[in-house]
């Protein structure tokens, strides 16, 4: 069909339309008609009416497995005397998948965005998926798609197709790390793919199982729709790949709690004893594919998010280190941070330097405003911490180990660092430099003769001391100890 004919259907029936790169989706009062575009993307070929009929029939057949009440059949698009209609008289010019319209406010992605999804619904969804996987078709041909050879073809294709995105959509460090992990996984764990085949875990799956393709009316009425009908390679897979897509999607939406619940429930219902051996591999694969799609769509922000998530699933030894250096002014934390930078290559992000740059000041110029005043107002401090955390995040994406050097008086300020780095799979380590009043006063006297970005003074130190919320889980260093002694305390973590 042509776009002008679609417009004629919209005018005749009063449809709303959603257009994707492969379909026109016409929304009526209680029904939906999905018409496939005559396109060929290599992995998908709808170029002839015969092919579109075949894929419409296949889409209905496959999706009835998880949404039987929704998929009603295939309708004819006809023309007679110039009038185009659905299931009317006249010549057939195309076909459409006919569906029952689902309530928009019960779509899973909407429920997640509005925080209206419940643990019971997630548990019911996990049971539905586990039951589906137990009965999904499998045979020698389907199982062959779970082999190491096929998986390597898929991942090699991903890396080749995203090379041109390095630098903007994914950093060189992330690309190299994800590719290295993938290659090593095949080398060191290649036998697990055959084991999964032997256990019957490679089946005719859904292939596109994430929140946008799920409708949760209630625990008893869950519909998983829009499975991939157009390419067997994307649908025939290890059941772990379906599960990984759902987990990755929840985590991409920062619902790590629901991801954990879905996984626990699925494992309980499926009794899949070996899935954990391949789950991270498939989560990385799924996140990378979504990043690739965003790259194809020139959506930098979305691609960054998915590629960051894929990187975040890698083992810890691929990750740079992030240290939160906290403590009162005058504790000596900056001196220690700079020494770590010199010896181990950490990039030090100083709140003192960032603050003055944001204020347009020379970093050596002093601002002796009262505590909480001038460039030390609460609003400015919030900007400083946001900038420091974001800069640290971007440096970590490049593979740089970072020290965030600030007082971090409040637990909420430290928590903000942890929350930002979840996506990269990095757990920052808090280093608290403790100090007594006498030593702090000595440090301030010494600082008066030095060039420093800090405006700390003893009276400011005392005010900070009243507000300090000491960290519970931290490496404790002494502000009066020798640098070498403190470095020895840090040694284990640095190694």
- Nearest Cα neighbor of 459 from 479, 448, 444 is 444
The reported pLDDT for the residue numbered 367 is: 64
Q: Tell me 274's DSSP state.
A: T
| Euclidean distance between CA atoms 371 and 302, whole angstroms | 41
**What is the residue-wise DSSP string for 376-404?**
GSHHHHHHHHHHHHHHHHHHHHTT--EEE
Cβ contact 408:418 at 8 Å: no
Cβ contact 131:206 at 8 Å: no
Residue 155's contacts (CB-CB under 8 Å, 6 or more residues apart) are 182, 285, 288
| Euclidean distance between CA atoms 72 and 61, whole angstroms | 10
The reported pLDDT for the residue numbered 243 is: 98
Per-residue pLDDT reduced to its tens digit, 133-192: 999 999 999 999 999 999 999 999 999 999 999 999 999 999 999 999 999 999 999 999
Low-confidence ranges of the chain (pLDDT < 70): 366-369, 447-456, 495
CA-based max dimension of the chain:
97
The reported pLDDT for the residue numbered 357 is: 94
| Euclidean distance between CA atoms 226 and 483, whole angstroms | 61
- Nearest Cα neighbor of 335 from 443, 449, 436 is 443
The reported pLDDT for the residue numbered 368 is: 64
CATH H superfamily, domain 106-317? Aminoglycoside phosphotransferase (APH), C-terminal lobe (3.90.1200.10)
The reported pLDDT for the residue numbered 450 is: 61
The reported pLDDT for the residue numbered 369 is: 66
- Residue ranges per domain, the chain? 3-101, 106-317, 319-494
- Nearest Cα neighbor of 227 from 291, 143, 294, 132 is 132
Cβ contact 7:13 at 8 Å: no
Count the Cβ atoms, other than its own, within 10 Å of residue 469: 13
In CATH terms, 319-494 corresponds, of 3.40.50.300, 3.30.565.10, 3.40.190.10, 3.20.20.70, to: 3.40.50.300
pTM for the full model? Answer: 0.92
């Amino acid at each position: 069909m042509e776009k002008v004919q679609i417009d004629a259907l919209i005018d005749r029936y009063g449809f709303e339309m959603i257009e994707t790169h492969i379909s026109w989706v016409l929304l009526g009062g209680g029904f939906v008609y999905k018409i496939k575009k005559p396109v060929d993307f290599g992995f998908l070929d709808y170029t002839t009416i015969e092919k579109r009929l075949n894929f419409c029939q296949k889409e209905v057949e496959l999706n009835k497995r998880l949404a039987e009440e929704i998929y009603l059949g295939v309708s004819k698009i006809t023309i007679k005397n110039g009038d185009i209609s659905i299931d009317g008289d006249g010549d057939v010019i195309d076909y459409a998948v006919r569906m029952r319209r689902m309530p928009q406010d019960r779509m899973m992605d909407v429920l997640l965005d509005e925080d209206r999804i419940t643990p019971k619904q997630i548990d019911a969804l996990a049971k539905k998926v586990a039951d589906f996987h137990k009965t999904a078709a499998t045979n020698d041909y389907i199982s062959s798609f779970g082999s190491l050879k096929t998986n390597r073809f898929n991942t090699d294709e991903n890396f080749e197709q995203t090379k041109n995105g390095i630098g903007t959509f994914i950093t060189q460090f992330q690309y190299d790390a994800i590719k290295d992990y993938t290659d090593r996984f095949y080398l060191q764990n290649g036998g697990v793919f055959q084991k999964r085949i032997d256990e019957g875990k490679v089946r005719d799956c859904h292939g596109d199982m994430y929140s946008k393709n799920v409708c949760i009316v209630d625990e008893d009425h869950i519909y998983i729709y829009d499975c991939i009908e157009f390419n067997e390679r994307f649908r025939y897979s290890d059941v772990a790949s379906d599960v990984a897509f759902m987990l990755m999607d929840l985590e991409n939406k920062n619902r790590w709690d629901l991801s954990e619940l879905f996984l626990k429930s699925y494992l309980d219902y499926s009794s899949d004893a070996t899935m954990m051996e391949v789950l991270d591999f498939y989560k990385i694969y799924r996140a990378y594919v979504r990043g690739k799609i965003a790259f194809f769509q020139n959506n930098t922000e979305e691609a960054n998010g998915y590629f960051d998530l894929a990187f975040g699933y890698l083992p810890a030894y691929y990750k740079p280190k992030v240290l939160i250096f906290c403590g009162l002014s005058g504790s000596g934390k900056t001196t220690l941070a700079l020494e770590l930078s010199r010896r181990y290559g950490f990039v030090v992000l100083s709140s003192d330097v960032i603050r003055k740059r944001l204020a347009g000041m020379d970093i050596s110029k002093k601002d002796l405003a009262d505590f909480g005043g001038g460039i030390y107002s609460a609003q400015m401090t919030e900007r400083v911490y946001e900038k420091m955390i974001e800069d640290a995040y971007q440096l970590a994406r490049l593979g740089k180990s970072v020290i965030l050097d600030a007082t971090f008086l409040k637990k909420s300020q430290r928590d903000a660092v942890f929350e930002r780095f979840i996506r990269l799979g990095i757990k920052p380590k808090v280093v608290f430099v403790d100090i007594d009043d006498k030593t702090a006063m000595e440090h301030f006297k010494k600082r008066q003769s030095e060039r420093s970005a800090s405006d700390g003074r003893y009276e400011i130190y005392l005010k900070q001391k009243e507000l300090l919320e000491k960290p519970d889980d931290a490496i404790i260093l002494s502000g009066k100890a020798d640098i070498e002694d403190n470095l020895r305390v840090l040694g284990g973590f640095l190694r």
